[in-house]
Amino acid sequence: MISQKQLKGPDVFARTFAADEKSLSAIAARLEARAKHCFFQQVVDEYVNALELRGHESILDLGCGTGAIARMIASRDNCSGRITAIDISPYLVQTGKRLALEEGLADKIDFLTGDAHSILELQGQFDVLIMHTLVSHVVDPATVLQEARRLLHPEGKIVIFDGDFDSLTYATDAPDGGAETDRLQAIAGHTQGRVMRAMPRLLSDQGFSLEWSKAYVAADIGRADFWSSTLPALRILLPSAGVMSEREAGDYVDKLESSSLSNTFFASCNFYTMIARGMHVG
């Protein structure tokens, strides 16, 4: 049976089941900060609107992290159904529970720990399953989609939002323009850098019919904005992934931060949302 523990690469967001507390705390801070950014708020608004919810749907947020997306959806007026939020990291699940309690949403969200490759205790009870930047971190996206199909009602809907992380770039003044540091960031922060390009085919292979999609570019030009909350996390996560020493990561981030102060920062990545419905069989 495939499991996340078979992971070979250093992706820190994929190793949250075994990461140290310093790394997990940096991950939690980054997830919370980006969820509050207007770009992510717009993305979630757009896919929730595209789902045309009637209000009572049961929703699964798979790879929920601190539950930022589950909480965003639970606080919407048109979402009165139960939300289940699952992540492989007990630390992030605990953080999610605490934040849901603090925000008065604890009675709307059930948090569980589990591996998206096999959630054996659940079956076929969800109307909607959301993977908000999960698939770029899993060992085997096809198995995770197969599992999603099993967890959904036969004609339930899946929402996949993720980065096309092979397009992620932070420009630097190095002779290669940042190509090598981009490569190191790619392996330290993602496992499936091109998975969204394969997603229409992967969805079809698992019996889903693609219904809606939207493309985004998160580009900060001059000042760091969306990407600014990544910078403090990189100081901790690049050494924790073993791709840079603390000093190298510090120098790298210092330069990125000073380029933002001098209005010469450039970082960009493509993101996509895809919504698909289970195809009726038989």
Nearest residue to 141 (alpha-carbon basis) of 32, 277, 239, 14: 14
Within 105-178, where are the H helices? Answer: 141-151
Q: Which is nearer to ligand SAM, 144 or 259 (CB)?
A: 144
Nearest residue to 196 (alpha-carbon basis) of 241, 145, 157: 145
**DSSP-based three-state secondary structure for 39:** helix
DSSP annotation of 52: T
Q: What number of H helices and E strands is found in the chain?
A: 9, 7
Q: Which is nearer to ligand SAM, 146 or 172 (CB)?
A: 146
Q: Which is nearer to ligand SAM, 158 or 259 (CB)?
A: 158
For helices 141-151 and 195-205, the axis angle rounded to 10 degrees is 50
Q: How far is the CB of 258 from ligand SAM (least distance, A)?
A: 27
Q: How far is the CB of 97 from ligand SAM (least distance, A)?
A: 14
Q: How far is the CB of 7 from ligand SAM (least distance, A)?
A: 8
Q: Which is nearer to ligand SAM, 87 or 182 (CB)?
A: 87
Q: Which is nearer to ligand SAM, 83 or 172 (CB)?
A: 83
Q: Please give the residue ranges that form the binding site for ligand SAM (CB under 6 A).
A: 4, 13-14, 16, 31, 35, 63-65, 68-69, 87-89, 92, 115-117, 132-134, 137-138
Give the separation between CA 96 and CA 73, rounded to whole angstroms. 14
